[in-house]
């Protein structure tokens, strides 16, 4: 039985894994140590957020199993890469497909897709009855990085918190370049929060 099958609705509550974040963004080395400490079992697919699944190429190509799971949307972070045949024609009319042709390389700029992928995930999960599979080849680097960015952008989680959340349900291993890009996103979002907080304090004092 996969982790997704064994988890109850309560354990998938978005508040699970929520930590108090320090203002300092963890280093890449610190993040790698955290990822190594994951005790979750690696399956072909795992539900890591309500109706949001991370999986590998095997599950992505198994249309019968996707139908059984009730998957309505697929976000492929390895579009046209290394045997990934998924596209809208492959899935037909019953599954909505979105592809990102990302390389699992530290030199690849995945950050240019953080906001567009996060918006796609957000819109999908706000669609009644929708279930989304985000996958790449192994379901550990590209897809995991995009899901981390989604949690940070749309659920106001810091990187430390988002990582702690995901490794409860699936072992992940974004490459060092992706971890650095996620760090930069974390720093940017923290700066925006501080700016909003400052503006709020100024507004309150003026009232």
Active-site residue list: 136
Measuring CA to CA, which residue among 18, 59, 23, 9 is closest to residue 197? 23
Measuring CA to CA, which residue among 76, 44, 37 is closest to residue 62? 44
Task: State whether the Cα torsion 64-6-119-136 is positive or negative.
Answer: negative
Number of helices (H), then strands (E), in the chain: 9, 5
The upper half-sphere exposure of residue 51, i.e. CA atoms within 13 Å in the direction of its Cβ, equals: 16
Burial tier of 23 (Cβ tally within 10 Å: 0-12, 13-18, 19+): exposed
Burial tier of 154 (Cβ tally within 10 Å: 0-12, 13-18, 19+): middle
Burial tier of 118 (Cβ tally within 10 Å: 0-12, 13-18, 19+): buried
- Which single residue is written with the structure tokens 């080395």? 29
């Amino acid at each position: 039985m996969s982790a997704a099958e064994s988890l109850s609705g309560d354990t998938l509550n978005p508040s699970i894994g929520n930590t108090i974040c320090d203002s300092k963004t963890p280093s890449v080395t610190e993040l790698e140590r955290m990822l190594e400490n994951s005790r979750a079992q690696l399956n072909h697919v795992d539900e890591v957020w309500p109706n949001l699944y991370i999986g590998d190429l095997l599950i992505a190509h198994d249309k019968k199993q996707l139908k059984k799971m009730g998957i309505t949307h697929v976000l492929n972070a390895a579009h046209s890469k290394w045997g990934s045949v998924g596209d809208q024609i492959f899935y037909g009319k019953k599954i909505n497909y979105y592809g990102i042709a990302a390389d699992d390389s530290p030199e690849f700029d995945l950050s240019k897709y953080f906001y567009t992928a996060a918006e796609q995930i957000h819109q999908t999960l706000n669609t009644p009855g929708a279930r989304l599979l985000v996958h790449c080849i192994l379901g550990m680097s590209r897809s995991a990085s995009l899901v981390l960015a989604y949690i940070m952008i749309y659920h106001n989680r810091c990187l430390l918190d988002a990582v702690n959340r995901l490794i409860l349900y699936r072992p992940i291993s974004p490459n060092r370049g992706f971890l650095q890009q996620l760090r930069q996103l974390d720093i940017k979002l923290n700066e925006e929060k501080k700016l909003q907080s400052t503006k709020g304090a100024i507004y309150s004092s003026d009232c």
